[in-house]
Amino acid sequence: MLRLCEWLEQIPWIVAITNSAVLISLVWLVHYFGFFLLVGTTAVVDLRVLGASARNLKLAPLAGQLFPLAWIGLGLVIASGFIMFAGQATTFYPTAVFRIKMGMVLLALLFGMIVQRNLPVWDRAPSVPAAAKWVAFASLTLWIGAILAGLEVAAFIPGI
Amino acid sequence: MHSWLVGICDRLQNIRLVVWLVTAQYAYPFIQWTHLTGLSLWLGTTLALDFRLVGAGKRFQTAAQLSDALFTWNWVGLGIAVLGGITLFATAAVGYIDNPAFRIKLGVLLPMALAWHIFVQRKSRTWGRTPETPAVAKLAGLMEIVLWVSVATAAVWIPNY
């Protein structure tokens, strides 16, 4: 795995982006906007499941509107995140906080997909089931936690 | 004027709590976290309305309905972001006020984007009555997206000075 990380760090275009203040700033910008879209829209849907937002709308149409934006955000986050990781892969890979962050992101995505899959059922029920609320709460908490973990990673790894 | 401002910034930076936030291990990311979590809510909901005005997701609900639905968390998000932003500023206030990227962000781009946001959010009630939004709404939505991207671009540029 460390071999792979070393190889990633030496890909010429990755090196070029990592060493350019302008380009790496743009990568960060894309990463920020990616998770603004991803986390912001997911949070609103989760809050709606919890009964704390957008009560004037049914769950399914609200999610229909917001989930495509969350997916676009995820695409941006993965593309930019890959470049950020690859540039200093050997430093990122063994760092515990980084692993914790990735674990939280994967779990949050899993919960998000559970929400997306079950929305039509929850929408038809007279009231949102308690289990649904727990899933939404977990998704919300994991995303907020992932942002914190991501920033702790940045604090741990100098020069990013 | 400038020395007066520097004086205030210097005092801000030396508040005991602020000094502690800068020196304590693990504390600084928590301030960034407040800023970025708030921004996720603020910009996630703001951009969602903008994209709806541009024409995305017409079959789900009108822009007016969406605007209503997102209104509360939109502003809660800004509140959290501002709280984090002020704290971030306080940790290195003297440096920030002379940073060109920071000045452009706070002095020019942010006020513009914020004013435009309030205008768009108010108008979305009339623009968004029908599933199809008027051309002016599409343009206004697109423009707001551009404005927030420019605010964030200035922000990521701050450390480069």
The predicted structure's pLDDT at residue A109: 96
* Closest chain A C-alpha to B3 CA, distance in angstroms: 31
For residues A3-28, average pLDDT:
93
Q: B49 vs A50, A71, B68, B130, B133, CA distance in Å?
A: 21, 16, 10, 14, 12
For residues B121-145, average pLDDT:
95
Cα B143 to the center of its chain, rounded Å:
15
CB-CB: which of B30, B36, B73 is closest to A44? B73
Nearest CA in chain A to B26: A152
The predicted structure's pLDDT at residue A149: 94
Residues of B in contact with A69 (CB under 8 A): 44, 47-48, 51, 56
Residues of chain B with a CB closer than 8 angstroms to some CB in chain A = 26, 28-30, 32-33, 36-37, 39-45, 47-48, 51-52, 56-57, 59-61, 65-66, 68-70, 72-73, 77, 149, 152-153, 156-157, 160
Mutate to test the interface with B, among A24, A36, A55 (most CBs of B within 10 A): A36
Domain ranges, residue A67: 2-156
Does B122 score more than 80 pLDDT? yes
* Closest chain B C-alpha to A3 CA, distance in angstroms: 31
For residues B151-157, average pLDDT:
95
For residues A144-149, average pLDDT:
95
**Count of structural domains, chain B:** 1
Closest CA to B136 of B68, B70, B65, B53: B53
The predicted structure's pLDDT at residue B25: 77
Q: What is the value of ipTM here, to two decimals?
A: 0.93
For residues A50-79, average pLDDT:
93
User: Confidence class of residue A67 from pLDDT cuts 50, 70 and 90?
Assistant: very high
**Count of structural domains, chain A:** 1
State pTM to two decimals.
0.94
Percent of chain B whose predicted confidence (pLDDT) is above 70: 100
Does B78 score more than 70 pLDDT? yes
CB-CB: which of A44, A55, A64 is closest to B57? A64
Q: A132 vs A1, A71, A129, CA distance in Å?
A: 38, 21, 5
Specify whether the CB–CB gap between A88 and A18 falls below 8 A: yes
Nearest CA in chain B to A143: B37
Domain ranges, residue B77: 2-160
Q: Degrees (nearest 5) of the Cα angle A114, A118, A124? A: 160
Closest CA to A60 of A116, A112, A125: A116
pLDDT digits (tens, 9 = 90+) for B29-57: 999 999 999 999 999 999 999 999 999 99
Q: A50 vs A22, A44, A140, B26, CA distance in Å?
A: 41, 10, 10, 31
CB-CB: which of B44, B60, B65 is closest to A43? B44
* Closest chain A C-alpha to B4 CA, distance in angstroms: 32
Does A160 score more than 60 pLDDT? no
pLDDT digits (tens, 9 = 90+) for A90-135: 999 999 999 999 999 999 999 999 999 999 899 888 888 999 999 9
